[in-house]
Amino acid sequence: MGDLSMMDDAGWLNQHASVLFEMDARGRITRLNEPDPETEAPRIFLARGRASMLMLFRDDVPDDIAARLGGIAHELPSWDGEPTDRRDLDRLRDGVLESIGDAEQSHGPAFRFNGLLPQPLRDDLKLIDRASASLLDQNFPYTRSVLDWRSPVIGVVRDDAVVSACYSARRRPIACEAGVDTVEAYRGAGLASAVVSAWADAVKAAGMTPLYSTSWDNAASLRVAAKLGLDAYADTLSFG
């Protein structure tokens, strides 16, 4: 995993982007870093840390548009760790609308696992491997079908089925980003924070860096981050 204390702001942003996307030799986004992505990668991706900024464009965005939008992004104020005032992003959003038309937006924080807060001990947490993969059949059949890709997978097991799972939604040899889901009937019981915490420990044990990201309007996911004491290192904004 390396000495993360030596990684600067720009290093975290670049690592985050490399986990999310496949890129060509020019540094343009070509696709999502997933086994079989169901959606296209965003045309524009912006990540702002407290001292650095990273902006990426999909390979079909013309160079002149990329240069113009990049200039607008570089005039944004530094990120202060809080949700960005919508008014600060209006000029960029207007530029995107004028350049590529209406685009689906995703806006939220990216977190690292620095000093996880202790979580209650549980005896229903299980590392899911090939021998126990059938526990995913009922509620997480897709995760079972790509188990090697999504490993490590941590589940809470009830009645011989995983009802809450955290897995590597996107991964590289150096880092993995968490994906987490809980069956609706079991939500609100603290299972998500339990599986995410155990997943992060498993990722670290494998010599990789665990990452977690969400959107500013996903209250449940933000509560998990707060409960675990995660450290937000970037504000990300993408346009589909």
CATH of the domain at 162: 3.40.630.30
Question: Average pLDDT, stretch 72-96?
Answer: 90
* Domain final residue, candidates 66, 89, 111: 111
Domain annotation covers residue 118: no
Residues 101 and 152 in one domain: no
Residues 99 and 152 in one domain: no
Question: Which domain range does residue 54 map to?
Answer: 4-111
Sign of CA dihedral 38, 203, 214, 85: negative
Domain annotation covers residue 78: yes
Residues 131 and 103 in one domain: no
How many CB atoms are located within 10 Å of the residue 7 CB? 15
| Helix, strand, coil shares, percent, the chain, to 5 | 35, 30, 35
Domain annotation covers residue 240: no
Residue 172's pLDDT band, with cuts at 50, 70 and 90, is very high
Domain annotation covers residue 82: yes
Residues 104 and 130 in one domain: no
Domain annotation covers residue 28: yes
Distant-in-sequence, close-in-space partners of 170: CB < 8 Å, separation ≥ 6: 19, 20, 32, 33, 34, 176, 177, 179
Domain annotation covers residue 64: yes
Question: Average pLDDT, stretch 193-207?
Answer: 96
Domain annotation covers residue 68: yes
Per-residue pLDDT of 228-238, as tens digits, reads: 999 999 999 99
Domain annotation covers residue 53: yes
pLDDT at position 240 over 60: yes
pLDDT at position 221 over 80: yes
pLDDT at position 153 over 70: yes
Residues 84 and 129 in one domain: no
Structure token digits, residue 48: 């702002």
Return the pLDDT at 4.
56
* Domain final residue, candidates 45, 80, 111: 111
Residues 84 and 149 in one domain: no
Return the pLDDT at 2.
46
Residues 79 and 141 in one domain: no
* Domain final residue, candidates 58, 80, 111: 111
**How many domains does the chain contain in total?**
2
DSSP class of residue 52 equals -
Residues 12 and 100 in one domain: yes
Residues 40 and 92 in one domain: yes
> Global pTM?
0.91
Beta strand 44-48 with 53-57 is antiparallel
Average pLDDT, the chain: 93
Distance in angstroms (rounded) separating the CA atoms of residues 75 and 222: 28
Q: What percent of the chain has pLDDT over 90?
A: 82
* Collapsed DSSP state (helix, strand, coil) of residue 238: strand
Residues 150 and 56 in one domain: no
Residues 62 and 132 in one domain: no
